[in-house]
Amino acid sequence: MTHEHPTLTDGTVTLRPSAPTDHPMAVDKDAALAFTVVVDDESVGSLVVVRKDATTVWLEGGLDDAHRGRGYATRALRVLVDWSLTAEHEGGLGVSRVESRIPVDAEGALRVATRAGLRREGVERVVPGESTTEGYVVLARLATDPPLSEPGAFRALLNSFLPRKRAISQMLVRDRDGRVLMCQLTYKQDWDLPGGVVEVGESPQVAVAREVTEELALEIPAGRLLLTDWLPTWGGWDDAICLVFDGGEHDASITEKIVEQVREIRSARFCTLAEVHEHAAGFTARRIEAALASAAGSPGAAAYTESGRSHPDPAHTSR
């Protein structure tokens, strides 16, 4: 990495250049730019800029234990991030992306990185036993990201690390005899209602109609919301919110128009409630019963369930 190694400061925290060091991840192998973090002429920690490629650098390092909790780490990291993203003709490093990898359990370091303007992008997994952590959170800031002083930048930061819960939309379609349209799926043994995962930025009501069209070639508008069902973690799936919309009553001959999407659907047919219990998982059968009660306007019908149960038991931590 060939670049002048300047002293950087925000008036409180100063980053003084120290000798460039070898680093196994540096693209040049001969120089990672090292800085000593100084406050009131006292060294409080160190940071290193490592060139990953022509446009990207990694940031590493931190403060000594005795100097944490005073905001110095956030200040120092902001200074280094800003300098790295500043154009070379303006005295900066001139990269377009600043990145950091932080262990998932290093909560303090993750807070500092976020406050310094780095957005969370995902988790890099590691093979169990090959590291002291379960994985690394990858965070980054781009030269095109808005300044931290702008409201949009703060919202983007929050959006990058706040929990994102998966949403699933399903449709309750019945025939004149009260049977329920069920799908035999290719990727699991138990049957389920037609529907699927809501895409990012997509309305759940639009999503379920889209899924029914894509999977069964049926054009059925999604009616009112019948049920919201929370699904705990299960079988490798994270927890999710399942929204069941009313697909109305139809003549049983509607199944003659079905064209299955063979990648996901083996078959689809109307089932009695007894057949639902025979072919579907217990939590799915409970959800369908609750949705049927809501569709019928039954007194006391639940609008919200957890794994199909209208009276959730805290002991039920699985589906």
- CA nearest neighbour of 64 among 43, 45, 38, 40: 45
Residue 207 to residue 222: CA distance in whole angstroms: 9
CATH 3.90.79.10 positions along the chain are 166-306
At 195-234, the pLDDT tens digits run 999 998 999 999 999 999 999 999 999 999 999 999 998 7
pLDDT, mean over the chain:
90
Whether the per-residue pLDDT at 254 is higher than 50: the answer is: yes
Whether the per-residue pLDDT at 29 is higher than 50: the answer is: no
CA angle 169, 175, 179 (to 5 degrees): 80
CATH 3.40.630.30 positions along the chain are 8-161
At 140-192, the pLDDT tens digits run 999 999 988 888 888 888 888 888 889 999 999 999 999 999 999 998 899 99
- What does the DSSP 8-state code read for residue 258? -
Superfamily (CATH) of domain 166-306: Nucleoside Triphosphate Pyrophosphohydrolase (3.90.79.10)
* The pLDDT of residue 162: 81
At 175, phi and psi to the nearest 5? Answer: -100, 180
Residue 221 to residue 260: CA distance in whole angstroms: 18
At 259, phi and psi to the nearest 5? Answer: -125, 105
* Second-level CATH architecture of 8-161: 3-Layer(aba) Sandwich (3.40)
pTM (two decimals): 0.73
Q: Which residue has the tokens 């100063």?
A: 14
Q: Which residues of 249-262 are buried (b: 16+ CB within 10 A; e: fewer)?
A: ebeeeebeebebee
